[in-house]
Copies of this chain bind each other. A is one copy, B any other.
Amino acid sequence: MKFRIDVSLKPGVLDVQGKAVEGALHGLGFSDAQNVRIGRFVTLEVAGDDPTHAEAQVKDMCEKLLANPVIESYQITPL
């Protein structure tokens, strides 16, 4: 079972990396770029035949390692 996990800062949390990239884009002449936000994604495979169990494991991985639930939200997509 292959999964993709998208991790992004919760709305309202200042995205300093996004702000830095936005500033750099403006510096390069892309003055039309706005609201730049950066997130990350993880693709992984979970061995085993039970999709429900695999997805529950991935959720557990997110809570324990892949995301910071205090400031980040995540979305799990089976691939």
Contact = CB atoms under 8 A, between A and B. Distances in A.
Given A21-B66, A61-B25, A65-B28, A39 B41 contact: yes
A47 interface: yes
Given A41-B6, A41-B40, A43-B39, A33 B61 contact: yes
A43 B39 CA distance: 8
23 contacts: A6-B41, A8-B41, A22-B44, A24-B65, A25-B44, A28-B61, A28-B65, A32-B46, A32-B47, A32-B57, A33-B46, A33-B57, A34-B45, A34-B46, A34-B47, A35-B43, A36-B44, A38-B40, A38-B41, A39-B40, A39-B41, A39-B43, A40-B40
